[in-house]
Structure 1
Amino acid sequence: MLKKILSIGLLLSLLPAFSQAKILIPAPPELAASAWILMDANTGKVLVEHNADQQLPPASLTKMMTSYIVAAELHNGKIKEQDMVPISVTAWKMGGSKMFVREGTQVPLMDLLRGVVIQSGNDASVALAEYLAGSESAFADVMNQQAQLLGMKNTTFHNATGWPSDGHLTTARDLSLLARALIQDYPEHYDIYAEKYFEYNDIKQPNRNRLLWRDSSVDGLKTGHTEEAGFCLVASAVRNNMRLISVVMGTSSEEARARESQKLLSFGFRYYETGKVYSAGDILKENARVWYGVEDSVNLVVPEDLYLTIPRGSKDQLEAQVVSDEDIEAPLTGGQSLGSLTISFEGEPLLETALVADRSVEEAGIFSRLWDAIKRFFIGIFA
Structure 2
Amino acid sequence: MKKVLHKLVYVSFITILSLALAVPANAKSPDIPDEEVCYVLMDSKTGRIFAEQNADRQIRPASLTKILTAIVALENADDLQQEMTVSREAVYDIGRGGMNIGIMAGETGLTLENMINVMLIKSANEAANIIAENLAASRREYMDMMNRRARELGAVNTYFVNPSGKDTEKEDADHFSTARDIAIMARHAMTIPEFRKIVATEYYEDMPATNKHDKWDPLRNTNKLLWYDNTYPYTVNGMKYKYTVTGIKTGYTAAAGNNLVISATGEDGMELIAVVMHVMTVNKVYGYATELLRFGFENYSMQKLADAGSTVRSVIVEEAAGDDNILDLVTESELCIALPVQSAGSAADNIETRLDIPGVVKAPVEKGDVIGTIEYVSDGTILGKVNLIAARTVYRAPGTMTAMDVESGDAEADQNYSYTLLWILLAASGFVMLRMVLRKISRSLKKKRYEYRYYRGPNG
* TM-score range relative to shorter protein: 0.7 to 0.9
| Code of the aligned partner of 2:99 | S
Within the candidate set 145, 162, 165, 1:162 is matched to 165
How far did residue 356 of structure 1 move? 4.0
How far did residue 104 of structure 1 move? 1.5
Within the candidate set 281, 291, 312, 2:341 is matched to 312
1:286–1:81 CA distance, 2 compared to 1 (3 A): same
Alignment of 1:94-173 (within 5 A): 94-95=93-94, 96-106=98-108, 107-164=110-167, 165-173=172-180
For structure 1, which runs of at least 5 residues remain unmatched after alignment?
1-22, 371-383
For structure 2, which runs of at least 5 residues remain unmatched after alignment?
1-24, 208-212, 232-243, 403-460
SS in 2 for 1:160: coil
The superposition leaves residues 225-282 of structure 1 with CA deviations (integer Å, 9 ceiling, x where unpaired) of 1122111000111121121110000001222211111111111112221234336x54
TM-score (norm 2): 0.66
Distance (Å, rounded) in 1 between the aligned partners of 2:387 and 2:52: 32
The superposition leaves residues 200-226 of structure 1 with CA deviations (integer Å, 9 ceiling, x where unpaired) of 442444222122226432121111111
**Does 1:91 find its partner at 2:113?**
no
Higher mean C-alpha deviation, range 225-234 or range 304-313: 304-313
Alignment of 1:75-86 (within 5 A): 78-86=77-85
Residue number in structure 2 paired with 1:242: 270
Within the candidate set 342, 349, 353, 2:376 is matched to 342
1:149–1:306 CA distance, 2 compared to 1 (3 A): farther
SS in 1 for 2:147: helix
Residue number in structure 2 paired with 1:45: 48
CA contact (8 A) 1:31 1:260 kept: no
CA contact (8 A) 1:97 1:120 kept: yes
| Code of the aligned partner of 1:112 | M
Residue number in structure 1 paired with 2:292: 264
Residue number in structure 2 paired with 1:222: 249
Higher gyration radius (CA): 2
How far did residue 88 of structure 1 move? 1.5
Within the candidate set 52, 59, 82, 1:56 is matched to 59
The superposition leaves residues 359-383 of structure 1 with CA deviations (integer Å, 9 ceiling, x where unpaired) of 999996894259xxxxxxxxxxxxx
Higher mean C-alpha deviation, range 269-278 or range 60-69: 269-278
SS in 2 for 1:103: coil
| Code of the aligned partner of 2:79 | K
Q: How many residues align?
A: 340
Within the candidate set 184, 189, 192, 1:177 is matched to 184
Distance (Å, rounded) in 2 between the aligned partners of 1:25 and 1:309: 18
Distance (Å, rounded) in 2 between the aligned partners of 1:144 and 1:360: 49
Distance (Å, rounded) in 2 between the aligned partners of 1:296 and 1:167: 66
Distance (Å, rounded) in 2 between the aligned partners of 1:94 and 1:298: 67
| Code of the aligned partner of 1:285 | V
1:350–1:326 CA distance, 2 compared to 1 (3 A): closer
**Does 1:252 find its partner at 2:266?**
no
Residue number in structure 2 paired with 1:353: 385
| Code of the aligned partner of 1:249 | M
Residue number in structure 1 paired with 2:3: none
Would you tell me which structure has more helix in proportion to its own residues?
Answer: 2
Distance (Å, rounded) in 2 between the aligned partners of 1:293 and 1:104: 75
How far did residue 60 of structure 1 move? 0.6
How far did residue 116 of structure 1 move? 0.5
1:170–1:245 CA distance, 2 compared to 1 (3 A): same
**Does 1:194 find its partner at 2:215?**
no
Residue number in structure 2 paired with 1:3: none
1:353–1:115 CA distance, 2 compared to 1 (3 A): same
Distance (Å, rounded) in 2 between the aligned partners of 1:252 and 1:321: 45
How far did residue 80 of structure 1 move? 2.1
CA contact (8 A) 1:223 1:234 kept: yes
Superposition RMSD in Å: 3.1
TM-score (norm 1): 0.78
**Larger RCO (CA within 8 A; separation ≥ 6):** 1
Distance (Å, rounded) in 2 between the aligned partners of 1:247 and 1:256: 13
1:162–1:361 CA distance, 2 compared to 1 (3 A): farther
Within the candidate set 293, 308, 315, 1:288 is matched to 315
| Code of the aligned partner of 2:280 | S
